[in-house]
Structure 1
Amino acid sequence: MPPKADLNKAGWEQSDFPILCETCLGPNPFVRMSKQEFGRECGTCARPFTVFRWNPGEGGRFKMTVICQTCAKIKNICQTCLLDLEFGLPVQARDTALAVRSEAPTSEINREWYAQNAEGKLAPHESLMKTGRVGSATKEMLQQLARSDPYYKRNRPHICSFFVKGQCNRGAACPYRHEMPTDKDDPMAKQNIKDRYHGRNDPVAKKILSNYAASKGLVPPDDPSVQSLFLTPLPQDATEDSIRTRVVQALPFLSPSDIRSIVHVAKTKSAFVNFTSRNAAERAAEAWANGLDWDGSIVGVKWGRSKNKTAPVASTSETVAT
């Protein structure tokens, strides 16, 4: 007679091998892993799961899984670094390029229930992430941002805190790096699992997207009051309502209330999209670095101008809202 199930462990996750990217797994094809069932709580859904720990290679630090396999499959990400398995990008950067919104609950309410229900819908090696329609601008953006080769530098040991204080006596035998931090206020050091998983306030993704947008000529203006983007050329049959619908669909990570107004200039086939905050405008510019896909055509995107400067189109200068 089989042993009676432990009701206290209902919904807890057991697995035989982790879901890892090539970088976290390391260059050594013969990796020894330790396995601990229900070793810790998942960093996102808080359910106990099987924890794996291993050394990815000589000179690297020991790594371990930090989220459960269900949460990893939902987002199609690595259980350790939380980067996308296909593109090698942070969740926020990938979702911004693909124009998808996270379905997982971001609060503690119902997060465990959601994970348990999602687990029943998942087939082996399947993800719940829905990419939707991918236009040519999105494809180009992902191709240019994606990291195809492993980046083993991420596996280096952490900086030795005793060395920073001048108190480390281990010398060359110290397993940590003897380097001084380059910048104590570096935002890259202020990451957390939940923000990285849900694709919000991720400094790594922000740096990737802002650098890419700048390379495409969408450098945010120095004037912080500029909160508008200029779209041109629009289709002949475009209307203010159709532009608003298209913009909302292309920016699922923003709320419709983040769009203050849309000024359509039919004569010049252009429009100004005015946002309620500078942050919303910057996120939209990052998402549209290669232009806005519109039924197979690409609509160009530029920043609006300050009130004391000429607008991108002289005949519509009075329509600029900043």
Structure 2
Amino acid sequence: MAQIKADPNKVAWEEAEFPILCETCLGDNPYLRMTKQSLAKECKVCTRPFTVFRWCPGVGMRFKKTEICQTCAKVKNVCQTCLLDLEFGLPVQVRDTALGLEDNAPRSDVNKEYFAQNMDAHFQDNGDELGSSGFGKAEPAGRELLKRLQRTEPYYRRNRQHICSFFVKGNCTRGAECPYRHELPQEGELRHQNIRDRYYGTNDPVARKILSGPRAGGAGRQFTPPEDKTITSLFITGVTEAITEPDLKGHFYAFGEVKSIVVVHKSKCAFVNFTTRVGAELAFEKTGGGVNIQGIPLRVSWARSRPVGARSEQRTEAEASPAAVMDALQAGPPPPPGSSSSFNYPSQDPTYQGSTSRRKP
């Protein structure tokens, strides 16, 4: 519980014992060590000093810390670190759009300070509850949309290390010992994000991408059938142990003849292969990008075509025949460079003792 200490001649500040975090930011480590520093930084929304917590969510992950104070987090019902909704794990703009909520939070410095002090008094009088109490009065259709958009489990890949800037420039000398990721950054509007825009739910590129996707009813890229007419499979995600192959077949068989179904419970996904392209298109059109089976929301998208590379083009039927495979196994491992084809390794001939040897003529 956060305590607000105020003085008539000073700006109020916050002291807290534990942060308000989502499950993803907290990490999967049950033995978490967290540091606490009172009045360490100012909140990036209301600019008031607050207690900063810092921790490592898991092995190989980057250290994370709280970015906003608990008062601002309670007003929007968001995580203090990632600023995503605590109930659905979605951006504020997506949640407010689906539920029809209006943002009445002030933007100026003086009004933000006055608004924060009033909200402090409100939370103390109402048992320090979060600002999600009014969400229950929202339309059922909006909540159903949010349930379809939310993730079914924490996304811990979001806690990975940042991309190494020296690797992007091509002069990183640390190699495998570099703690940062050696990847090229993705181009696009997702690179330009602002923490205040995410908090207020305005001009958020992540929210625009989610709202324009197929699960939100927009014209997303996966909503349009792929140009490759040979693709007759649908990719299902969110499959739990309670959903079996007969459950999927009983639902999708009404749209067309199902050729086969592959369920991978370890990855929580499944593939539904139709006999014809018409059946696959009808199934995706009726499901609308999402379906509910056994009370579990599933996401439906088009499966991708298998890439055709140079190896698959050069491979012939003779190379894949059983006789060719047996001949390759009997031939043994290849000789090292610079030696003849009659070279034998010690493990192949028990009469030789030593590291290497050659056959006697």
For 2:146, give the aligned amino acid.
L
Which amino acid is the alignment partner of residue 148 of structure 2? Q
Counterpart of 1:271? Answer: none
Please list every run of 5 or more consecutive structure 2 residues that lacks an aligned counterpart in the other structure.
Answer: 1-5, 222-287, 290-361
2:198 is matched with which residue: 196, 209, 213? 196
Distance (whole Å) between structure 2 residues aligned to residue 162 and residue 190 of structure 1: 20
For structure 1, the 5+ residue unaligned runs are: 220-288, 291-322
Aligned with 1:207 (options 206, 209, 214):
209
Kindly state the Cα deviation for residue 6 of structure 1 after the two structures are TM-superposed.
6.7
Match of 1:151 among 149, 155, 165: 155
Give the aligned CA root-mean-square deviation in angstroms.
Answer: 2.5
Please say if 1:137 is aligned against 2:141.
yes
User: How many residues get paired?
Assistant: 216
Contact 1:92/1:198, CA 8 A, preserved across alignment: yes
Deviations 1:271-321 (A, max 9, x none): xxxxxxxxxxxxxxxxxx99xxxxxxxxxxxxxxxxxxxxxxxxxxxxxxx
Secondary structure of 2:213's match? Answer: helix
The 3 A distance-change label for structure 1 pair 18 and 181 is same
8 Å Cα contact 2:38-2:52 kept in structure 1 = yes
Q: Which has the higher contact order (CA 8 A, sep 6+)?
A: 1
Q: Secondary structure at the match of 2:184?
A: coil
Residue in 1 aligned with 2:131? 128
Deviates more, 1:6-15 or 1:94-103: 6-15
Q: Distance in 1 between matches of 2:176 and 2:8?
A: 50
CA 1:40 to 1:145, structure 2 compared with 1: closer, same or farther past 3 Å?
A: same
Aligned-residue offset at 1:26:
0.3
1:77 match: secondary structure: coil
Moved over 3 A (4+): 5-10, 212-219
For 1:40, the aligned partner's letter is K
Deviation at 1:106, TM superposition (A): 2.5
Deviations, residues 185-215 of structure 1 (Å, cap 9, x unaligned): x211111111100000000011001114774
- Asked if 1:29 is matched to 2:30, the reply is yes
- Assess if the C-alpha contact under 8 Å between 1:87 and 1:148 holds in 2: no
Q: How does 1:242-253 map to 2 (within 5 A)?
A: none
Distance 1:162 1:156, change over 3 A: same
User: Aligned pair in 2 of structure 1 residues 85, 105: CA closer, same or farther (>3 Å)?
Assistant: same
The one-letter amino acid of 2:147's match is Q
Offset of residue 128 of structure 1: 3.0
Could you report, residue by residue, the CA deviation over 1:116-158 in whole angstroms, capped at 9, with x for unpaired residues?
A: 1101101455123533642332132111012231100100011
